[in-house]
A and B are shown apart, each in its own frame.
Chain A
Amino acid sequence: EPEVTQTPSHQVTQMGQEVILRCVPISNHLYFYWYRQILGQKVEFLVSFYNNEISEKSEIFDDQFSVERPDGSNFTLKIRSTKLEDSAMYFCASSVQGNGYTFGSGTRLTVV
């Protein structure tokens, strides 16, 4: 069964450092998303991406965040200067619009 792949599974970084979280969506999916889940809390929408541009973003997705699809297969989330409160599980998802979203297994980001 096709799956969304995320790497790394766990990233530890120092406050102020830049991190890049990587995702390989399902190959025939056209819509890509990043979500975040702080431990024990709800899943929060960050951004959606379609046709090589951001289509929607939440208030969480401020100037320190950016997304890119550099090579037609990878979909990355960059956090420029990490803060302690960025520690969370980050999920990538992809979809064919109108169908369910397939989530990756997540990257646990720990900012110390």
Chain B
Amino acid sequence: QQPVQSPQAVILREGEDAVINCSSSKALYSVHWYRQKHGEAPVFLMILLKGGEQKGHDKISASFNEKKQQSSLYLTASQLSYSGTYFCGTAGTGNQFYFGTGTSLTVIP
């Protein structure tokens, strides 16, 4: 039930781009993306509610392919503040909500 994310970890230099993928074996009704800094709670980034939807916030955007049961998070021109662990979260029917396996992102100067 837990969505699988790839890659598990990525190291970027400031200004580089990254893509984080989230894939589920179950039908998806929505996809959420969160970022968690070490020792802190996850912070909501965005939610995608329907297939084909794309959203963006600052230089972070995401897409949702409902048919493939996948979502991708795009980070462009990364900043040091982007460092953290990124989790996708997927909702099926009812109130089940499961976080993905996580992707550790480290941005270095």
Contacts and interface: CB of A to CB of B under 8 A. Distances in A.
Given A56-B95, A56-B96, A42 B42 contact: no
A44 interface: yes
Nearest to A4: B41
B107 interface: no
B99 A105 contact: no
Contact of A100 (B47, B95, B100): B47
Assign chain B's interface to a size class.
Answer: 20 to 34
B43 interface: yes
A15 interface: no
Contact of A106 (B41, B43, B98, B100): B41
Interface string B9-49: 00000000000000000000010100010001111111101
Nearest to B42: A103
B99 A50 contact: no
Interface string B80-109: 000000010100001111111110000000
B32 A101 contact: yes
Given A43-B87, A100-B47, A102-B44, A33 B102 contact: no
Contacts of A91: 41-42
Interface residues of A, number: 21
B2 interface: yes
Given A43-B99, A44-B99, A100 B32 contact: yes
Interface string A69-109: 00000000000000000000001000000111111111000
A56 B36 CA distance: 24
A55 interface: yes
A98 B30 contact: yes
Contacts of A98: 30, 47, 49
8 contacts: A42-B87, A45-B97, A55-B95, A98-B47, A100-B44, A101-B44, A105-B41, A106-B41
